[in-house]
Structure 1
């Protein structure tokens, strides 16, 4: 074959989240997943972090299809932003499982991208579709949400398998185990490249089955004398079913709280992925009407999100659910790396109220949807790939995944650890890493989408930690001399109230000295004068307070 295959990760390598992989053969493109990532604590004011879509925008006319592995936000959340960025007259087909397609249609409708709705197509597993010179097939896998699939992309050079998120759960909640027979068939015929999930490469053994969680939830429900509040990812449909089952077994009603949780519940139930009776459900505004031992609440907020239902309950701000002593809050999820502090703060607030907290450290109330080390080795054994490219993980986990591949017989020179923006190129002569392309991040800040400059994030961090000083100086336009006492305004600056008046008085004197020096040196240009004033004020504040607040000098000429 004279063709060339490029596999270009635009997100998901060196990080947990915003998964997006471009599979390109002879210039035609299939995009697997379009995920987002939530901001780190130092990305103040940022709502979402997206992959850089520049490569797709430049090659929009060559995109044959999008294929989505499952409906978690780190795999589909960026799709509305991608489609808006591409701004094509005809949206390429978007293939996904039935539940994923329904949730994506709902999300596109929220973003007012109704013309794109027709492009979303249900793709049953095992039914290949043509995408330019490639064919695409979904292979059933097990994860924490139904309709999770690996993506098999057949190319003239050979097949590529992108695993998505998976584990080899033989007792899944929905009764749909991974299609190991199909994976073995692929391995027998010969897999060219395996792009495998690395999220739990650092955990030994096999990932526990989702079925292990149900009995423990039922035990917590039975032993708790007050209300039980279970928080989990809204998209964890299997966990929602287990909460419903535990409530039925212990004769409790269930209130579903949180917009995203209600939305996921309604979509999954309408498609038959959830089973419950209407008499079991309680509207959130009726929660306080039921005896505590007869009620369970299923809530968003497992990651300590500031506006989530559980966080508002913990702070006594939720309009319908008020936590009290005797309640038990079950965290049926583990914190995403970077969210630990927010989760711990929420737990501490719950304890302060007098309620109890149960986490996966106390009892198995959560099972990861990602395979552990033995799952990853089993995937490699089944598919027998010629080349392996670990994906979906930080660099530590990518390297651990590579070592696992070596341990089951993959030669080191056939394992490629790469990074976002650097493609793996394969042709008849072999495989190699190619020339990098731009693959940074795009920030969503409120309604704005784009590149938030480092200086903006730095200023937000300064405001958050040390506050802001605004200095207003009134000078003569003729000689630069101060003609009125300077004004000093400050917000969020941490210093003792007893010292405040004396400090401000001394700061005004320093401003007067700075203006006098500038006038003596004939510094009359406003921008230059502001720079001098900024440096002098910042130095004085740091010397006195050992803080670096944001200093904003304002110069008024009269």
Structure 2
């Protein structure tokens, strides 16, 4: 990467990955470039690592981002966060042109030095596409061996277990499949199977008189945060919101005679989020006729019948199922 890049090199990495910082610093020194660390977490990790002796970077190799902006592009390397396409990260903001400290420009080489965590693929590739659109040359794991793992290998995990010699072992990082493999690894270094606990969310683990045992299971579920409320949004409300976001809403207003439920005027139909670019007038005109027919033969369940009739008709015409609400005013 350093041999081929003619402009600035911008490298995204996890802020906690100290070894990658050292690799970048070493490469920058060999190619006569200065390194600027950007982002609070990246800068803090760099400073603490240097103070504790985990990073060996000469003072003259490090510049501020303000200094880097005024230097010739071939003399600069910038390290920042955002390998997973997080919108609030430096790389995420660079891809949308909303970063305050500096911006992407044609000729930049951007390196994403880790492959997407499962579930992040869409945001990562969206960020890559935007960076290309802004003129950068993006290098990522699919096209070059730039990935570096921040996780321990199996042999390193074994070494840690040999050094600490725990009596009990509880793997805690990853999904169930990862926890099971980690537990099996602990068995291979001599930890008794009965002293290994693979837990799921809500499972209580107790230690009584120095002995480990499984406790009761605590009910757990997702807790929705909505504005200032925490946990007060039910799953039913979330399903309704999903339906609204997917197909919109249709409101039907009926003006009826108080004594005999006769329509006093044509049904009024309004929609939000249920856009029909073509033939919308014809569809709603036909829907009004369906409403009129349904009202004329309704028997005790007027609103429910109208909701069903309008919903079925709109689905038949558009293959969409908006939420249908019926209001009735009697005069």
Following the alignment from structure 2 to structure 1, what is the Cα–Cα distance between the partners of residues 268 and 317? 19
Find the residue that maps to 2:267 and give its secondary structure. strand
The CA deviation string for residues 8-37 of structure 1, in whole angstroms up to 9 with x for no partner, is xxxxxxxxxxxxxxxxxxxxxxxxxxxxxx
TM-score, length-normalised on structure 2?
A: 0.78
Q: 1:474 aligns with which of 247, 251, 254?
A: 254
Q: Cα distance, 1:304 vs. partner?
A: 1.6
Label 1:455 to 1:240 Cα distance change in 2 as closer, same or farther (>3 A).
Answer: farther
The CA deviation string for residues 56-112 of structure 1, in whole angstroms up to 9 with x for no partner, is xxxxxxxxxxxxxxxxxxxxxxxxxxxxxxxxxxxxxxxxxxxxxxxxxxxxxxxxx
Q: Is 1:334–1:360's contact at 8 Å kept on the other side of the alignment?
A: yes
Partner of 1:553: 325
Find the residue that maps to 2:174 and give its secondary structure. coil
Alignment of 1:80-99 (within 5 A): none
Label 1:508 to 1:462 Cα distance change in 2 as closer, same or farther (>3 A).
Answer: same
Following the alignment from structure 1 to structure 2, what is the Cα–Cα distance between the partners of residues 243 and 250? 11
Find the residue that maps to 1:423 and give its secondary structure. strand
Q: 1:490 aligns with which of 241, 250, 272?
A: 272
Larger radius of gyration: 2
Q: Cα distance, 1:397 vs. partner?
A: 0.9
The CA deviation string for residues 211-259 of structure 1, in whole angstroms up to 9 with x for no partner, is xxxxxxxxx23421122222223454554565455445434455555xx
Partner of 2:284: 504
Following the alignment from structure 2 to structure 1, what is the Cα–Cα distance between the partners of residues 237 and 272? 19
Following the alignment from structure 1 to structure 2, what is the Cα–Cα distance between the partners of residues 301 and 535? 48
Q: Is 1:254–1:296's contact at 8 Å kept on the other side of the alignment?
A: yes
Find the residue that maps to 2:2 and give its secondary structure. helix
Alignment of 1:95-494 (within 5 A): 220-236=1-17, 239-240=20-21, 242-243=23-24, 246-254=27-35, 261-262=39-40, 264-265=42-43, 269=47, 272=51, 276=59, 280-283=63-66, 287=69, 290-318=71-99, 321-427=102-208, 431-445=212-226, 447-450=228-231, 452-464=233-245, 466-476=246-256, 478=258, 479-482=260-263, 483-491=265-273, 493=274
Label 1:389 to 1:505 Cα distance change in 2 as closer, same or farther (>3 A).
Answer: same
Q: Is 1:252–1:280's contact at 8 Å kept on the other side of the alignment?
A: no
Following the alignment from structure 2 to structure 1, what is the Cα–Cα distance between the partners of residues 34 and 316? 61
Unaligned stretches of 5+ residues in structure 1? 1-219
- RMSD, aligned CA: 3.6
Label 1:246 to 1:316 Cα distance change in 2 as closer, same or farther (>3 A).
Answer: same
Following the alignment from structure 1 to structure 2, what is the Cα–Cα distance between the partners of residues 279 and 385? 41
Following the alignment from structure 2 to structure 1, what is the Cα–Cα distance between the partners of residues 29 and 146? 17
Following the alignment from structure 1 to structure 2, what is the Cα–Cα distance between the partners of residues 429 and 245? 49
Which protein has the bigger strand share? 1
Q: Cα distance, 1:340 vs. partner?
A: 1.4
Find the residue that maps to 1:540 and give its secondary structure. helix
Find the residue that maps to 1:387 and give its secondary structure. coil
Does residue 1:521 correspond to 2:299, yes or no?
A: yes
Aligned length: 323
Following the alignment from structure 1 to structure 2, what is the Cα–Cα distance between the partners of residues 292 and 511? 68
Does residue 1:538 correspond to 2:311, yes or no?
A: yes
